[in-house]
Amino acid sequence: MPPSAISIREYLNYPPAVAGPNTKYDNTPQNNPSLSGATLGVLSSVVSSLGSLQRILWSNAGFGSLSKLEKTGALKDIVPCFDPTVIALVNTTSTLIPSAYEALTTRGVSSSGSTFYSAADYVAAYKSGAVTPTQVAERILEILATDSTKEHYFIAPTPKDALLAAAAASTERYRSGGALPMDGVPLVVKDEVDVAGTVKTLGLSPAEVSRRLGNEPAKQSSFCVQTLLDAGMLLLGKANMHELGLDTTNDNPHWGTPTNPYNAAYYPGGSSGGSAACVGSGLVPIAVGADGGGSIRVPALYNGVWGLKPSQGRVSGRPTPSLAPSVGVLGPITATIADLEIAYRVMAAPDVEGGSASALFSYPGSLTSITEKVLGIYKPWFEDADAPIVSAVQSAVDALVSQKGYKVVDITLPYIAENRTAHAVTILSEIGSGICAGGDDVAGLCPSTKILTSIASKTKAHDLITAARLRAQMMQHLSHLFQTHPGLIIVTPTAPHPGVKIPPGAGIKGAYGISDSNKALRSMQYVFLANWTGCPAISAPCGYVSVDGGEMPVGMMGMAEWGGEDSLIDFGKEWDSLWSKDSRKRGKGWVDVLKKD
């Protein structure tokens, strides 16, 4: 068991955080410029070579606020927490393992409806003989070859011959009556995650992949990916991602930027942007993403689909090393809530051979359900979003209260702005340490990554210890809230704005990329907390807003206590039953993969 992994019952004995002078929420942005084009390239070279400038920018980013908070004495009795893994107790005597594939028995909506195909639709179509996995694979290959809006969705697509051979094998299993649970259902995997026989890039340029990671194909797929492949899923390839996962746009100058299927003028979100775009465009019902600061939920939101960030340590990625071990997790991005349930339950099977925290968790669905329906809202935080976003999410909350029996309680979250800074310092330090030699080796990176990792290199050990104290305090406070309000789900918008518009000259393969830390931090305003404290969180599509002559989706996020993924899925099902059938829309870039012609 990891040193800080303890049961929820033990953790609940901790006291809540004491409100201090900085408890009031304040989201005043730092005065950081938005940069793109040649200016960004020049600045990145200067920043990466001048330690004095790095220190100035480190301070300008607000990272020094942690030291100021420590000097107030608010954290003096807090023991640092460097790993937010918390193992939930199993409150049941049942020895039965719930079926991961139960949701496949319920059909999704038909192609004439207003929403997306689910894995259940694919399986039903295959079993009925309406279409075969081979026909689906051929259709997908045709789309990818002729639809220019899908050009940059993949970094490493499965070779045509290999994909058709896998589809043919799946088709034969259906014909012979030996089909696997999700045989032939299309799947993509974020390029951060290992897939046997493919080279991982982390979104780096080919030259930097060779220098930093090597060109040897992975010998083994990540545990959670292998569980999906063992269920028969048809792998389309490794999906595009932001370089090193270090932003929320998925602007990738090396491999190109995926197109948002709702609005081509906007980014698809990142860093799992390729995975989410594949789901949002209808190419696949299930994708694997990675989330260290919203990288599953933000792109899921921007692409109008579902995303789940599991509890810290819940899903095993063995042997894939995490880019940010104390905040990063692997999880699903899906077309429907039914797909989210299936994908989570398959991916989160305990990895009993890996020596990781995953082995200590119970099987998904094993925990006793809590019947109370409580939504917690910290009003100053919830309302610090664009007015149309607040309105859409508030309407969703009101519907859950009036039609599904939820009640709303007001909560507070101390030092939320400082916690966001602490998370940013920690994730940048972890990624910079693991990949960039602590910021000393930034050659070959795109300019925005150079700037971020160079600035983060000025973070001192003392600052990281202060951040870890702040994390422990927030976890104690959340423990108190979850004990006071059993079944509590903390609700916010997934992001405070309807996406990030692509500026002129950005979003192009071969360009410089973009650095806009204000918008990046703004995008992460709500999502970071689940990563920081290790709690699970779900993003559900809940509306649309008009932007630039088109539309972008709105997302509602719910965060539950450690091990509370099943309660979040139940929450998602209840919202889905109120909204998806009549209100959900496909984007302009959606394609009909199951079309019969």
Question: What is the residue-wise DSSP string for 283-306?
Answer: S-SEEEEEESSSTTHHHHHHTT-E
pLDDT at 127 over 60: yes
pLDDT at 307 over 60: yes
pLDDT at 107 over 70: no
> How many Cα atoms occupy the beta-carbon half-sphere of 52 within 13 Å?
0
Query: Higher pLDDT residue, 46 or 246?
Result: 246
Residues 6+ apart with CB under 8 A from 577: none
Helix (H) or strand (E) holding 33: none
Joined tokens for residue 140:
């997908």
Task: Look over the chain and give the mean of its residue pLDDT values, rounded to a whole number.
Answer: 89
Cα separation, 11 vs 307, in Å, equals 27
Over range 245-273, report the average pLDDT: 96
Task: Report CA torsion sign: 474, 479, 482, 483.
Answer: negative
CA distances, 109 to each of 303, 313, 339, 544 (Å): 19, 34, 13, 20
Share of the chain above pLDDT 70, in %: 86
Lowest pLDDT segment from 362-376, 408-422, 577-591: 362-376
Query: Higher pLDDT residue, 516 or 106?
Result: 516
CA distances, 244 to each of 249, 258, 428, 476 (Å): 12, 16, 10, 31
Tell me the pTM. 0.92
4, 36, 295, 358: the catalytic one is: 295
Lowest pLDDT segment from 165-169, 333-337, 431-435: 431-435
Give residue 36's pLDDT: 59
Over range 71-91, report the average pLDDT: 89
Q: Per-residue b/e over 224-248, b at no fewer than 16 CB within 10 Å?
A: bbbbbbebbbbbbbbbbbbbbbbbb
User: 174: which DSSP letter?
Assistant: H
What are the φ and ψ backbone dihedral angles of 221, each rounded to 5 degrees? -80, 150
Give residue 6's pLDDT: 38
Cα separation, 320 vs 315, in Å, equals 12
Burial class from Cβ neighbours inside 10 Å (0-12, 13-18, 19+) for residue 45 reads middle
Over range 22-34, report the average pLDDT: 52
* Strand order through the sheet with 186-190: 154-157, 234-239, 186-190, 286-291, 329-334, 306-309, 537-547, 550-559, 488-493, 374-377, 407-410
Give residue 109's pLDDT: 42
Are the C-beta atoms of 125 and 44 separated by less than 8 Å? Answer: no
pLDDT at 31 over 70: no
Q: Report the Cα–Cα distance between both ends of the chain, in Å, rounded.
A: 54
36, 44, 271, 539: the catalytic one is: 271
pLDDT at 510 over 70: yes
Cα separation, 251 vs 575, in Å, equals 32
150 included as an active-site residue? no
Helix (H) or strand (E) holding 515: strand 514-515
Give residue 110's pLDDT: 40
Helix (H) or strand (E) holding 319: none
pLDDT at 113 over 50: no
At residue 188, the 3 state secondary structure works out as strand
Give residue 129's pLDDT: 96
Write out the CATH class of domain 86-92+115-416+470-583: alpha beta
User: 89: which DSSP letter?
Assistant: P
For the chain, the farthest-separated pair of C-alpha atoms sits apart, in whole angstroms, at 70
pLDDT at 453 over 60: yes
Of 132, 347, 350, the residue nearest 227 (C-alpha): 347
> Which of the four pLDDT bands, split at 50, 70 and 90, describes residue 39?
low
Cα separation, 328 vs 312, in Å, equals 7
Of 36, 80, 50, 61, the residue nearest 456 (C-alpha): 61
Query: Which residue ranges make up each domain of the chain?
Result: 86-92+115-416+470-583
Q: How far is CA 72 from the centre of its chain?
A: 34
> Which of the four pLDDT bands, split at 50, 70 and 90, describes residue 178?
very high
User: 266: which DSSP letter?
Assistant: B
150, 190, 309, 450: the catalytic one is: 190
577 included as an active-site residue? no
556 beta partners: 493, 540
Neighbours of 13 (CB within 10 A): 11
Residues 6+ apart with CB under 8 A from 41: 447, 512
Give residue 2's pLDDT: 33
pLDDT, tens digit, for every residue of 511-554?
Answer: 888 777 778 889 999 999 999 999 999 999 999 999 988 999 99
